[in-house]
């Protein structure tokens, strides 16, 4: 039986205490660290574009290459906001207005339970705004308005705070991209020599896995978006192409495309009340499109395009997305699968003494 001396026990206890202290420190500083991690991830994704401007376009100034890459990113975000968001907002406002003007019609019973319609017809008169002024005095109205004013001020301060966070993230991204290669060398030089080769191998594996994942998953998401866009256009769903693009973007994270179901239901309801088409028929066809796209994703696209690079069980994928999403939010969900794959490969390599590459071949 192996025995431990006093110094080893003390060293182990100190190590455990340091790990616990670092954990609570990370939790305490999460509000500061999360913007930095998100900025680091965005800078990592922009690095190939910066290298393109610097080496392919022969921009001699690194700062100019970084600026051009950030301008391209800004143009993509502005174009997305200009082409997709306003039509969606218009359609949603149109849906709300149309439903509001037809709340008294008998056809509302086609889409909602009759008990709900009856309750609304019995109580709609009690929602008159004039009743506020007839039943309350001016002071009561002011008292009622004070919390709303305070809420508006609080929202204004929160908006300014968010703008400040965004500006800090922009500065993070710029300075990280400006000296990305130099930062890599300096961070590696800070690692003790006996661990340097190990850390360099881990960082190389992370970079290779993430590049492979985003390249292949981006192709999968593109094809899935085309499937949804074509399917929605065939059935005449409002904003079919736009919804296809949005669901395609959501497909960058496995199973996140399910978040596109609620807006598709609202758009199907809008199409039904405007044209008189059966809402339930549209619903069945839309579910069929989702099922077909999910089948193509799981059984055709992912096995052929992703191959065995991210060979994870669906239950492990959901668990990884939940854990990394809880730790790092949306950024954690994006990097969940490549990091989980690396952790499993290293466990097999160093603990189980199995070469993962021989299993994948």
pLDDT by residue, tens only, the chain of 361 residues: 556 566 777 877 888 888 888 878 877 777 777 788 788 878 888 888 888 888 888 888 888 999 999 999 889 888 877 877 777 677 667 666 665 665 454 555 555 566 655 665 555 554 444 444 444 444 455 455 555 555 555 555 565 667 777 888 888 888 888 888 788 788 778 878 887 888 788 777 777 777 777 778 888 888 999 999 899 888 888 778 888 888 888 888 777 788 888 888 888 887 887 777 888 888 899 899 999 988 888 777 877 776 555 666 767 777 877 888 777 676 677 777 778 888 887 777 777 777 655 555 5
155, part of any domain = yes
Q: Is the Cβ–Cβ distance between 91 and 270 less than 8 Å?
A: yes
Q: Is the Cβ–Cβ distance between 334 and 252 less than 8 Å?
A: yes
Domain extent, residue 48, equals: 32-101+137-178
Instruction: Return the pLDDT at 288.
Output: 92
The candidate with the shortest Cα–Cα distance to 336, out of 219, 224, 206, is 206
The candidate with the shortest Cα–Cα distance to 96, out of 308, 267, 324, is 267
Q: How far apart are CA 28 and CA 253, in angstroms?
A: 28
* Angle in degrees, 0-180, between the axes of helices 62-83 and 138-178, rounded to the nearest 10: 140
351, part of any domain = no
Instruction: Return the pLDDT at 292.
Output: 92
Instruction: Return the pLDDT at 4.
Output: 57
Q: How far apart are CA 354 and CA 361, in angstroms?
A: 13
The candidate with the shortest Cα–Cα distance to 49, out of 69, 73, 77, is 69
Largest Cα separation within the chain, whole Å, is 87
CB neighbourhood size of 267 (10 A): 23
- Counted residue by residue, the chain has a size of 361
The candidate with the shortest Cα–Cα distance to 48, out of 31, 65, 27, is 65
Q: Is the Cβ–Cβ distance between 287 and 264 less than 8 Å?
A: no
Q: HSE on the CB side for 179, CA within 13 Å?
A: 8
Q: Give residue 218's region: left, alpha or beta (phi > 0; psi -120 to 50).
A: alpha
Instruction: Return the pLDDT at 279.
Output: 81
Q: Is the Cβ–Cβ distance between 148 and 310 less than 8 Å?
A: no
254, part of any domain = no
Q: HSE on the CB side for 73, CA within 13 Å?
A: 18
Instruction: Return the pLDDT at 274.
Output: 75
Instruction: Return the pLDDT at 154.
Output: 59
52, part of any domain = yes
69, part of any domain = yes
57, part of any domain = yes
341-352: burial string, b at 16+ Cβ within 10 Å, e else: bbeebeeeeeee
Instruction: Return the pLDDT at 261.
Output: 86
Structure tokens at 119: 């309750």
Instruction: Return the pLDDT at 308.
Output: 56
User: For the purposes of burial, counting CB atoms within 10 Å of the CB of 153, is it exposed (0-12), middle (13-18) or buried (19 or more)?
Assistant: exposed
Tell me how many domains the chain contains: 1
Q: Is the Cβ–Cβ distance between 176 and 183 less than 8 Å?
A: yes
Instruction: Return the pLDDT at 130.
Output: 44
Q: What 3-state DSSP class applies to 333?
A: helix
Alpha helices by DSSP H, listed for the chain, are: 6-28, 30-51, 62-83, 85-101, 114-123, 130-135, 138-178, 180-189, 193-235, 240-250, 261-275, 279-296, 314-328, 330-346, 356-360
278, part of any domain = no
Q: How far apart are CA 257 and CA 246, in angstroms?
A: 9
Residues 6 or more apart whose Cβ sits within 8 Å of residue 80? none
Q: What 3-state DSSP class applies to 309?
A: coil
Q: How far is CA 210 from CA 5, 305, 308, in A?
A: 43, 15, 14
51, part of any domain = yes
First-residue to last-residue Cα distance in the chain = 41
Q: How far is CA 311 from CA 3, 92, 199, 305, in A?
A: 41, 40, 24, 12
Sign of the C-alpha dihedral computed for residues 79, 84, 87 and 92 taken in this order: negative
């Amino acid at each position: 039986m192996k025995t431990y001396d006093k110094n080893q026990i003390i060293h182990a206890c100190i190590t455990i205490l340091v790990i616990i202290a670092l954990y609570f420190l990370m939790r305490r500083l999460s509000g500061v660290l999360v913007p930095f991690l998100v900025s680091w991830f965005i800078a990592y994704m922009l690095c190939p574009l910066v290298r393109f401007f610097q080496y392919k376009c022969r921009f001699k100034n690194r700062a100019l290459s970084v600026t051009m890459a950030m301008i391209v990113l800004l143009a993509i975000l502005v174009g997305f906001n200009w082409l997709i968001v306003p039509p969606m907002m218009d359609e949603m406002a149109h849906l709300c207005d149309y439903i509001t003007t037809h709340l008294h019609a008998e056809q509302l019973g086609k889409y909602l339970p009759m008990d709900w319609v009856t309750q609304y017809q019995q109580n709609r008169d009690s929602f008159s705004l004039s009743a506020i002024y007839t039943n309350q005095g001016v002071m009561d109205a002011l008292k009622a308005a004070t919390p709303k004013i305070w809420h508006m001020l609080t929202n204004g301060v929160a908006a300014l705070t968010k703008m400040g966070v965004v500006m800090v993230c922009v500065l993070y991204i710029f300075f990280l991209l400006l000296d990305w290669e130099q930062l890599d060398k300096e961070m590696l030089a800070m690692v003790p020599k006996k661990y340097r080769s190990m850390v360099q191998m881990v960082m190389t594996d992370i970079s290779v896995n993430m590049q492979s994942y985003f390249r292949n998953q981006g192709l999968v998401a593109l094809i899935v978006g085309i499937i949804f866009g074509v399917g929605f256009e065939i059935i005449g769903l409002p904003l079919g192409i736009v919804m296809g693009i949005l669901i395609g973007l959501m497909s960058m994270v496995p199973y996140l495309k399910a978040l596109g179901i609620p807006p598709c239901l609202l758009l199907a309801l809008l199409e039904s009340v405007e044209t008189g088409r059966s809402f339930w028929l549209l619903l069945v066809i839309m579910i069929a499109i989702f099922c077909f796209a999910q089948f193509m994703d799981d059984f055709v696209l992912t096995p052929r395009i992703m191959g065995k690079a991210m060979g994870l069980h669906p239950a492990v994928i959901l668990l990884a997305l939940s854990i990394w999403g809880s730790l790092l939010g949306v950024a954690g969900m994006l990097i969940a699968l490549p990091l989980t794959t690396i952790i499993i490969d290293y466990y097999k390599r160093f603990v189980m003494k199995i070469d993962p590459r021989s299993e994948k071949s």
